Amino acid sequence: MSTEVKIPAVGESITSGVLSGWLKQNGDAVLDGEPIFSLETDKISTEVPSPASGSLQIMVAAGEEVKIGQIVAMIEAAEGAGKPAAKETAATATVTASAKADESAKEEAALSPAVRRLAAEEKISLGEVTGTGKHGQITKPDLINYLERPAKKGGEGLSSEASAKGELKQKPAPAPVADEAPSVPVFTDGRSVRRKMSPLRKKIAAQLVMAQQNAAMLTTFNECDMSAVMHLRSSYQEAFQKRHGTKLGFMSFFIKAVVDALHLVPAMNARIDGDDVVENHYYDIGVAVGTERGLVVPVVRDADKKTFAELENSVGGFAAKARDGKLQLDELTGGVFTITNGGIYGSLLSTPILNPPQSGILGMHKIQERPMAIGGKIEIRPMMYLALSYDHRVVDGKEAVTFLVRVKECIEDPTRLLLQG
């Protein structure tokens, strides 16, 4: 008996994707519900589980574009499955094999998607790799160290795709990479590398160009003194972390400040839809997260109703999901305003691009000590430049400046966030 493995529907507007990698090899035994391949679309990357238990027969190679509903593999049921065992020894053998397969599946499931993907691409036998993670779990650096050993693969190391990501320097290859199952087709002549854009990168590119072409985008700047927020964090960090199990970061303060400013300037919480202006009365705030695959913007729902701890847990959870490719489609849609923090990469100042159809995006930047005139005296203060890009079709300059000044006031005097003053 055979069971078809089809590309599942992952969203109303998504009709295709890229089968980015098989988590199992052709002919491997798989269990019902066990992840067997990764699907990458223009919005999310997800792992698809097996619809049945049996032997995996792969029909579509990794790296190929696939349509929703397309058959990419078959699951062949084990011979004699479902029939009563003729002998006790046969039953015992089946139970033993099932237990081993289950144990193997659990060990496989404990690995991160990045580890499974790299192991599949480089055809690494995980039994040969020594894990340094928690409880001996294999980590991505473990695989990289394994591949760096000169005795393995003739000292070739990682594929050129991994090298292009900066994971490991590799000797130039004179011919196209002939990996049997790359996540993205890669070609190199030793001087340059050519690969197809991933669906996510294509989507990001299209969104950025659309934002530039379809909106009257303008950016206004200000700076804020981070002394008060930094003092609060240092004073209450230990108690906050002990009580809530998470660190108190800067992002929760900025989300609170943005929500406060959106209340003050409703135009910033509006968008254009055809010939209409839609003004929102809810506060779902997008927080940009950088990943190896590109920038994604998960949305914190009802940010106005969340505490600082709930906001920090939401942002931290989204960051972990984004790194592991676990974000769901509904977590990436519906935001009314976006915050992006280039400061974590060292950016001192930038002009963020709108996230359509939103009308505003706030750019945070690096905190830098600078001499400031305070009460007629020069003092060294930790300062951050803020940048607000907005759609001038919806928001006037006065409203944009008022919004950004309100964010500045809330950060410089966080008690405003409690007293709404």
Where along the chain do its domains lie?
2-110, 141-196, 200-419
Which one from 28, 179, 392, 413 is the annotated catalytic residue?
Answer: 392
Q: Is 351 left (phi over 0), alpha (psi -120 to 50) or beta?
A: beta
Q: Are 374 and 381 in contact (CB under 8 A)?
A: yes
Q: Which of 324, 330, 396, 413 is catalytic?
A: 396
- pLDDT truncated to tens, each residue of the chain (421 aa)? 789 999 887 665 577 788 878 999 999 999 988 989 988 776 677 788 899 999 999 998 887 888 888 999 999 987 655 444 444 444 445 545 555 554 555 455 456 666 676 677 667 777 777 776 655 667 766 776 676 554 443 444 344 344 433 444 343 433 333 333 344 556 777 788 888 777 777 777 887 888 888 889 999 999 999 999 999 999 999 999 999 999 999 999 999 999 999 999 999 999 999 899 999 999 999 999 988 777 889 999 999 999 999 999 999 999 888 888 788 878 888 899 999 999 999 999 999 999 889 999 999 999 999 999 999 999 999 999 999 999 999 999 999 999 999 999 999 999 888 876 5
The DSSP letter of residue 6 is: E
The pLDDT value recorded for residue 113 is 61
Alpha-carbon distance of 202 to 45, in angstroms, equals: 14
Give the per-residue pLDDT at 334.
87
Q: Count of CB atoms within 10 A of residue 141's CB?
A: 12
**Can you list the positions of beta strands (E) in 152-216?**
186-188, 193-195
In the residue annotation, 396 being an active-site residue is answered as yes
* Range 200-419 classified under CATH 3.20.20.70: no
Whether omega before 199 lies within 30 degrees of 0, making that bond cis, reads no
Q: Which two tokens stand for residue 112?
A: 């991160």
Whether 2-110 shares its CATH topology with 200-419 is answered: no
pTM for the whole structure? 0.62
C-alpha to C-alpha distance for 192 and 175, rounded to whole angstroms? 11
Which pLDDT score is estimated for 170? 41
The maximal CA–CA distance of the chain, rounded, in angstroms, is 94
| Bridging pattern class, strands 360-364 and 186-188 | unpaired
Partnered with residue 19 across adjacent β-strands are: 39
Asked if 122 contacts 159 with a C-beta cutoff of 8 angstroms, the reply is yes
Q: Which two tokens stand for residue 70?
A: 């397309």
Q: Does domain 2-110 have CATH number 2.40.50.100?
A: yes
Instruction: Give the H/E segment covering residue 18.
Output: strand 16-22
- Looking at residue 388, its amino acid is L
> Beta strands 71-76 and 2-6: pairing type?
antiparallel
Candidates 390, 385, 384, 410; CA nearest to 252 is 410
Confidence at residue 91, expressed as pLDDT on a 0 to 100 scale: 47
User: Catalytic site residue 392?
Assistant: yes
Q: How far is CA 307 from the centre of its chain?
A: 24
Element (H, E) at 230: helix 227-244
